[in-house]
Every structure is written in C-alpha cells, then in structure tokens.
Structure 1
Amino acid sequence: MLNGPIGRTLWGMTWPMIFGIATLISFNVVDTFFISLLGTEELAAIGFTFPVTFTVISLTIGLGIGTSAVIARKLGADQDQEARHVGSSALWLSALLVGTLALLGWVFADPIFSMLGASSDIQLLIKDYMNIWYAGAVLLVIPMIGNSIMRASGDTKTPSLIMALGGLMNAVLDPLLIFGLGPFPAMGMQGAALASVIAWAVGFTLIIYLLVKKRRLIDPLPPSFKEFITSTRKLLTIGLPAAGANMLTPIALGILTAIVATHGAPAVAAFGAGARLESIASIVILALSMTLPPFISQNFGAGKIGRVQEAYKTALKFVLLLQAMMYLVMLAMLPVIQAAFAREEAVAQVLAYFVIIMPLGYGVQGCIILTNSAFNALHHPIQALLLSIVRLFVMFVPLSWLGNQLGGLVGLFIGGVIANVLTALISYRWFMRLTDAERGSVEAAERAKALATASSKEGEGRYGA
C-alpha cells in the first residue's frame, strides 16, 4: 500500500469486497422481491423500516470505521498486542451500544413509526418484522465489526466471503419461511425477519471462530476494565463522529419517507424498492469506501500525502465513470424492475420516476461518500460529520422538500440530484485544501528533522575535533 501502483493496489483490495457486497445486497433485493409478493402493504411496511434499521447499521458502520482506523495504526506501528485489545473492546462496545439502541427502538416503536407516517394497519406488519429484527440485532453487529478488524489487518477476501454466505443463506431461507414451503410454516413478514437473523447467527459464529481461535486477532475479553475504557475512548474518538455522520442518513431518509407517505402507500412501496435498487447501483462505492480508508491511513501515517491525493482522485474518476454506465443499465432494465417489484400501476409509475431521475446523481453521491471515508481515514472525523450535515440537512432534505412542493415526487427526486451535485463540488475542494495543509505540515516536519540532524552531526564533528 505504501509503494505499489495506486490503481492496481486499490483494485486488488476492492474487488473481493465488491464480490461480497454485491452478493449480500443482491440477496437483500431478493428479500424485497419475496416480500413484494405478499402485497403492496407489506412492501410499504418494509419501506417504513428502512430509517430504523439503517440507523442501527449506520451506528455499526461508524464503529467499524473507528475500529479499522485504530487497529490499522496499531498494526502499522508493530503494536500487535494493543491491536488485539482494541479489537476485543470494539466487539464488546458495539454489542452494548447496538443492544441498547435495539431495545429503545422496540420500546418506542409506536411513536417512531407513527411519526414516519405509517398507518395502524401497516404498523402491525412492521411490528411482525421488527420485533424479530430487534431481537437479533447484536448478531448483525458482531460480524460487521469483525470484518472491519480483518480489513484492518489487510484481509479483504474473508470478510467478502462471510458477507456472501450470509446473503445466500438469507435468500434461501426467505421463500421457505415467508411462504411456508416444505416442512416450514408460512410466517409472512416474521419469516423474512427470521431468515435474516439465522443468517446473522451463522456469520456471528464464523467471525468469532476466525478472530479468536484461528487468526488470534483478538482476545475473548479485554485484559481489564481499565484497558476496555482506554480502548473505548480511542475507538469513539473516530467512531462516534463517524457513527453520527452515518446515522444522519436514516434521519434524512425518515424525513423523506414521511414526505413520500403524503402521496400514499404505493409511493412508499416504490420508494422503498428504489432504495434497495440504489444499494445495488452503489456496490462499488460501498466497496471503495471500505478499502480506500486503509490505503489512505497507511500512506498518511508514512507522510505520503501525494499518494493520498492521487488515490482519492483515482477513486473519484473511477466512480463517476462507472456510475454513468450504471445509469444506462438501469434505464434499459426499467421494465424488468417494474415487473419484479410493482404489483400495482401506481407503484410502477413511481418506480419509473425514481429510476429515470435518481441514478443521475449516484456518481457524485459516490464522490461525497468516498470523501467522507477519506476524512475519517485522515483522523478528521469532525470534518466527515460536518460534510454529512451539509449534504443531508443543508442540501438534500431542503432541496428535496422544495422540489416536492414545486413538482411532487418528480420534483423531490430532481431536488435530491441537484443537492448531490452541489455537495460533491464542496466536498472535493474541502478534501484537497485539507490534504494540502497536511502536506505542508509534513514537509515542515521533515525540514525541521533534517535541520536537527544536520545540527547534531555538526555538533558531533566539533566535539570529535
């Protein structure tokens, strides 16, 4: 990562993650497909769960960013034992925080989903799904944090295989538990949630075995409560702002869902399906957001700011080109998408609006996501948090709301695209200014070191004389 060709190195780290994320997300879309067969209300119910489930996942992603950054720095400094302690603390901290968040979500389910605009009938379907989801949330977080530990050690292939296995299991179990095929009872929405929890449990077992027994990357427990607190502070210094930045997304998504809900259940159903499609279109972006930070962190630690900037620019160019191609693919597949997810003409129409407009902004949205990850990799989590605030609450939500006021759902989607374009321009200039400043600091430190060395040698020469 410090000396190899930048493009080739990034690709070598990223392609295994693309495979894993693609498999996982593809099976999540299959999950949506099976739920859509139950009816429009069931599909709408899943749409309402997005802001809540994504809140938990966003917290986990933020903690994973902190975990990866701290452990990678420890390993780079040959502090292997301390890295093991940090990894152990990260798993226990994540389980504690996510468990607490899931409990709060379960207790306050009624006011949360009422605020999002779900009707009483749809709330019953939501509870069928979310009660099981909340119960298994900790089984979701441990594999995600465990994968971050492995990526920090340089292994991106194993996490991708674990993600792929979980997605495959979920896709196989979905029809069995939702519709009651073979010896299984028909559980409907509960079956969809149970399939996910079973898949998470398998991932949990695998990751604990690999981390503790086979790879010995972590200890089962932190060596002491004092060490746990010390590691927790380090993790939260980066992880908490990163988690906060990620958790802003479901808040914004919740606001947009409430706006979309004013257009009826079919609109929410289509919006939820569109969000799943967006996750497929963003697979490479998500993979790069996991592999670019370790590359940046190591080069930043080595003082190679030029490689940091070059890697950042290379990733942005690649994402913009790829997402332009992805837009054309989604347009061509629009009839297939409508046939797969729309059971009513109203749902099909909103899906058409979504696919024609929203993917226009996926490339620049990817630039924002990668900039956010790069800020965290440079140990500037506050800048990442501020960028998320600007993107979502200065640009995205206000412009989407304004678009809805002027042109309904079509205007809402157009407003979102405009917001992403403006924020991408801001994020690029912000990152380049920050790294230019870092480059100046590194060069100043090197000059000071050179002067000190020269002075020391001069002094030794005089003493010798």
Structure 2
Amino acid sequence: MKDLTHGSIVRHILAMAPPIMVGMISIMICQLVDLYFVSGLGDAAVAGVAAAGNAGFLVNALMQVLGVGTVALIAHAVGRKDRADANLIFNQAVVLSVLAGVSTLVIGAALSRPYMRSIAADQATVEAGTTYLLWFMPALALEFAMQVLASALRATGIVRPAMVVRALAVAINIALAPVLISGCGTGHALGVAGAGLASSIAVAVGVLMLLAHFLKRERYVAFHPAQWRPRLSQWKRILGVGLPAGGEFVMVFIIMGVGFYVLGVFGPAAQAGFGIGTRLLGLIQMPALAIALAAGPIAGQNFGAGNGARVRETFVKAALIATAVMIVFLVLVQLMPGLLLAGFSQDRETVAVASLFLRIVSLNMVVQGLIFTCSSMFQGLGNTKPVLWTSAVRVITYSLPSIWLSTWPGFRMEHVWYLSLATVALQAVLSVWLLRGEFKKRLTLLPQGRAPEQERPEPAAPLVREPA
C-alpha cells in the first residue's frame, strides 16, 4: 500500500499516470489490433468490428460501476487507516465481478445480432459484427474481474502490476490476431471470429496473471472466502458510487450509437472511418485520462483522511497537467492525421472520413481533459451523480439535434461533429461548476473516522496471508 496523503501531489500523479496510461492504452490497442488485422477483409468487416466494438462501451459502463465504486471506497478506507473495511469492499466487489461476467456472457449471446441489425448499414456488416461479438464476449466478461483487481490496487496507490499484465495481454493479442484471422502459419483462417478469439485468450491470460499476483504478493487487500457471502449493504455502497459513473459510459455508448446511426446513410465506408477515428482519438486522449485517473485515488485517500486542502490541490495540479498534455496531442493530430491513420484501411473514402473526423473533433481535446479531471475528482469524493447529470445533458444536446440534422436534404457528416464540439464545451462548464459546489459542500466538514453505515467484517477472517 502507498500512502498518498503525504508528499508531493505532482510527484504522485506523475508516478501513477504512466502505468495507468500503459494499461488503458493496452485495452485500446487490443481494439485497434482487431481493426488493423481485419482491414484486409474489406469495409464490411471493418465496419462490423468497429460497430461491434461500440458495444464494448456499454459493457465498460458496467465495469466502471464496479471499478469506480471499488477505487473510491477502498481509497477512503486507506485514508482512514481502516484496513478491515478495505478488505470487505474488495471481496464483495470480486463477487459482483463474477456475477456481472456471467450475465454478460448470457445477455451478449442473446442480443448480439439484434444489436448489429439496429445500427449496421448492410447485411454483410451485420454478419461480421455479430460473429466478432460472439467470440469477443468472453473477453468482455473476464474484464470485470480484471477491472476489480486493478481498481483495488490503484486505490492503494499500486499501479505497476496492472500495467505489466495489460502490456503482456496486448503482446499476446498482437501475436495471435494475424494467426487466427488470416491463418498465418496454420492455414486455418477464422476471419473476424479470429479477432474476437485472440482478444478473449489475451484477457484470460491477463486475469490469471493478476490472480497470481494477489495470491503471492498482495498484502493490504487479499482474497478471504469468508467475506464472499453476498452482503447487500456492501453492494449498495459500491453501486451507490459506481452506478452514476457507469451511467456516464452508457451516455458515451448512446452518443457512439447515434453517430453510427446518422452515418448509415453514407454507407459502410463512412461508418468504418468513424469507428477508426473514434478509437484513435480515444487512444490519443489516454495520457490525459491517465492523469485524471491518477488524481482519483489521491483525492480519495486525502478525503478519507480529512485533508480538504490536498483534495483541492489535487484537482488544480491534475487539471493543469492534463491541459498541457492535451495541447501537445492536439497539435499532433492537426498536423499529421494521415500518419496516425496509416495502415488501418486501404480504402480512400474510409481514410478521408477518419481524417476529417480527427481534424474536427480533436478541437475539443483540451476541454475533454478538464471533463476527465472533474469526473475523477467526483469519484475521489465518493459522489458520482454530477458526472451522470453532465453526461446526460451532453447526450440530449447532441443526440436529438444530430438525428434532426440527418433529415435535412443537405446533411453532411461534419455537421454532427461540429455539434459535438459545442456539447462537449457545455459539459465541461457544467462539470467545473458542479465540482465547485461539491467542494463547498463536502470539504467544509470532512468525516473523521469510520462512517456509521459501514459494516465491519468478521474478525475470524485473516487480513494478512503469511509468506511461506
């Protein structure tokens, strides 16, 4: 466990952000690897995988419910020096991750084809996306366990093990993807099914490696079977913090779905270009997001310790660093969009759509960094409802006008991207305003010691596994 209630906040952020970034980039690279290696199968395959990957945003929303709740509550417990509560939250989150993973497999198998039919431009895209989703679903199910394990470590200030595991999983995915997709070296090409299978195998190996780390090395939080009995009071605590944050990802899913829907009139090449562009932009924004996520546990531990001044300082420092990083990458995207897109498609129309998308939508990167930072601070404070409200405002102001614009005779795809710039700016203003109010409300009289509604685990469960 790393105590984040003392020492330089900037140093803590800069120490935690790179490993977090590597872990997140690894997740994004897995999706880009799939797009890259299926590009040789045609626009329908690329559009299908890109559209199916959008379903990952919905599953990510559920993952965030567990991840955010786990980080916030364990970080608060660490700040209060309440190790028993940290272990109880961890073990209950593990139980929830198993239930969520099983539910994902069942629901995904039932709804993959109806989902693809609702957004795909043609039948070939429907078939490609459905096939990919069915083979990719085990990876999404296993990600729940990966999310909880990595979140528990991050809450205690430890981020390197998750980074290493993510990097190794990406390496496995990169190695398997060309073999399974095109049959390189085996003669058995699986096509888009191979892309999903490669990701599922890579995530499975990653989960096993993190489990091994917890069993052999982790000491502050650990597996205690006696604490696996479902406790609704603890689930309520985790979900109370996590559900609004998960709702934010649902909003992103809706925005992405609307984007694919309104671009359907332009054909699969437009949808493919949009899918590639959104994933590349997400990858480019990862450094700023990593900085914001590093600020979350720092704010959480200091909030639990009753140090309001350091909570405020964490926000200011993280926002400044994220802004500086976003400006650098904004310049890169504006000057070299073609270089960033090299290799993802051989179709000129697809590349043209992706390039135009990057040039326009990247203009909101600086304010997006501010949104990331505000969101992480709300998580650190243990109240994520404002994040849901600001995201809902963005969905309403973006989705309905986008669908309306698509009915115009002279509708062009860039119309909705310009609209996106305005709605993201509005969300940033609302986020800062609500965070200021949250600071005034929650940092004036910080709780000291143990919150009355928290339940202490049975003393019979050992908190430390003695080394052999």
Q: TM-score, structure 1 length as denominator?
A: 0.89
Contact 1:270 1:351 in 2 (8 A): yes
Name the % identity: 25
| Pairing of 1:51-130 with structure 2 (within 5 A) | 51-130=54-133
1:295 counterpart = 2:298:
yes
Contact 1:248 1:388 in 2 (8 A): yes
Structure 1 position 174, deviation (Å): 0.9
1:266 alignment counterpart? 269
| Residue number among 355, 362, 366 corresponding to 1:352 in the alignment | 355
Deviates more, 1:72-81 or 1:91-100: 72-81
Deviates more, 1:326-335 or 1:414-423: 326-335
Superposed CA deviations along residues 153-190 of structure 1, whole A, max 9, x for unmatched, are 22111111111111111111111111111136211101
1:415 counterpart = 2:415:
no
SS in structure 2 at match of 1:108: helix
More helix by share: 1
Contact 2:387 2:431 in 1 (8 A): no
1:378 alignment counterpart? 381
Kindly report the root-mean-square deviation, in angstroms, between the aligned alpha carbons of the 2 structures.
2.2
| Pairing of 1:169-318 with structure 2 (within 5 A) | 169-183=172-186, 185-216=188-219, 217-219=221-223, 221-223=225-227, 225=229, 228-318=231-321
| Residue number among 145, 152, 155 corresponding to 2:155 in the alignment | 152
Q: Give the Cα separation in 2 of the matches to 1:23 and 1:94.
A: 21
Deviates more, 1:86-95 or 1:196-205: 86-95
| Residue number among 388, 398, 402 corresponding to 1:396 in the alignment | 398
TM-aligned CA distance change 1:441 to 1:371, over 3 Å: same
Superposed CA deviations along residues 317-346 of structure 1, whole A, max 9, x for unmatched, are 222222122122123322224442232222
Contact 2:177 2:198 in 1 (8 A): yes
TM-aligned CA distance change 1:433 to 1:303, over 3 Å: same
1:454 alignment counterpart? none
Contact 2:288 2:323 in 1 (8 A): no
Q: Give the Cα separation in 2 of the matches to 1:401 and 1:282.
A: 27
2:435 alignment counterpart? 431
Q: Give the Cα separation in 1 of the matches to 2:228 and 2:12.
A: 38
Superposed CA deviations along residues 194-226 of structure 1, whole A, max 9, x for unmatched, are 110110111111111222343253225343525
Q: Give the Cα separation in 1 of the matches to 2:288 and 2:404.
A: 28
TM-aligned CA distance change 1:338 to 1:64, over 3 Å: closer
Residue segments in structure 2 that go unaligned for 5+ positions in a row: 449-468
The number of residue pairs the alignment matches comes to: 442
Structure 1 position 378, deviation (Å): 0.8
Q: Give the Cα separation in 2 of the matches to 1:222 and 1:359.
A: 49
Residue segments in structure 1 that go unaligned for 5+ positions in a row: 446-465
- Code of the residue aligned with 1:21 in structure 2: it is M
| Residue number among 14, 18, 27 corresponding to 2:17 in the alignment | 14
Q: Give the Cα separation in 2 of the matches to 1:132 and 1:124.
A: 13
Structure 1 position 138, deviation (Å): 2.3
Structure 1 position 236, deviation (Å): 1.2
SS in structure 2 at match of 1:441: coil
Contact 1:59 1:98 in 2 (8 A): no
Structure 1 position 87, deviation (Å): 1.4
Q: Give the Cα separation in 2 of the matches to 1:21 and 1:100.
A: 24
TM-aligned CA distance change 1:407 to 1:6, over 3 Å: farther
1:2 alignment counterpart? 5
1:340 counterpart = 2:343:
yes
- Code of the residue aligned with 1:207 in structure 2: it is L
Q: Give the Cα separation in 2 of the matches to 1:172 and 1:224.
A: 37
Q: TM-score, structure 2 length as denominator?
A: 0.88
